[in-house]
Amino acid sequence: MKPQPRILIVEDEPAIAELVAVNLRHNGLSPVWAEDGDSAQRAIDAVLPDAILLDWMLPGQTGLALARRWRADPRTKGIPILMLTARGDEGDKVQGLDAGADDYITKPFSTQELLARIRAVLRRRSPEKADDTVTLAGLSLDAGSYRVTWQGRALKLGPTEFKLLNFLMKHPERVHSRQQLLDKVWGDHVFIEERTVDVHVKRLREALGPSAGALVETVRGAGYRITAQPATRSAA
């Protein structure tokens, strides 16, 4: 029998944590509760979860700090993180995504929406395996070994940025709208905002560096493309 996906709930309010845990259990998921960063780290050290529900405001380290730490750790960098918070401003959402969150859920939230978002990140964590290598203008991506190089120099990309680059490089010179990228890279997840694409493209360019990052172009009013012959300066 396939084991139930393990979901780590990092939440300091017991009532919210219990409500979430009950709904997860009723829907075939295995919740584990941690009330702060230290107990969350102990739970992760013991058994890696399949996804993390992370509150922003926590005693001690904030959810943002924890997300950054786990994204920087090779052992945990691929675990989907869904940030739960009452902070709903766009600037806060961008901060959460920049810290490494895969999704951002504003309190109060419906349990059905939460479950749909969890299922979506779990689907995205198990994409089709691709063992091929694609190259473009000095940029090389090996999906089998999960490596990206620019002119022979290794680059470090996060899991979402890797998937985004992989898709773009397999469809060079084509313009993809934000919605098309959501469908093809994130999957059929209707809750993610198109702004998420902009945030991850920005992070992708930063990870690639100035020269390789210039290959990823913004086409105003249309979307994004990757090209072997970038303009002198691509649109921001």
Q: What is the pLDDT of residues 187-226, one digit of tens each?
A: 654 466 778 889 999 999 999 999 999 999 999 989 999 9
CATH 1.10.10.10 in the chain, residue ranges: 133-226
Exposure string of 34-49, with b = 16+ CB inside 10 Å and e = fewer, is bbbbeebbebbeeeeb
Residue 189: predicted pLDDT? 47
According to the per-residue pLDDT averaged within each range, which of 97-101, 103-107, 110-114, 230-234 is highest? 110-114
Residue 4's pLDDT is 86
Residue ranges matching CATH 3.40.50.2300 in the chain: 6-125
Q: What's the CATH number for 6-125?
A: 3.40.50.2300
Q: For residue 106, give the nearest of 81, 80, 82, 86 by alpha carbon.
A: 86
Res. 126 pLDDT band, cuts 50 70 90: low
Q: Which architecture, in CATH terms, is 133-226?
A: Orthogonal Bundle (1.10)
Tokens of 88: 């709903």
Q: Which residue has the higher pLDDT, 145 or 137?
A: 137
Q: What CA–CA distance (Å, rounded) separates 202 from 206?
A: 6
Give me the residue label for tokens 């409500």: 19
| Chain mean pLDDT for the chain | 86
Specify the pTM.
0.57
Burial 117-155 (b: 16+ CB within 10 A, else e): bbbbbeebeeeeeeeeebebbebbbbbeeeebebeeeeb
Task: Give the model confidence (pLDDT) of 19-69 as tens digits.
Answer: 999 999 999 999 999 999 999 999 999 989 999 999 988 988 889 999 999
Confidence of residue 233 (pLDDT cuts 50, 70, 90): very low
Whether residue 127 is predicted with pLDDT greater than 50 in this model: the reply is no
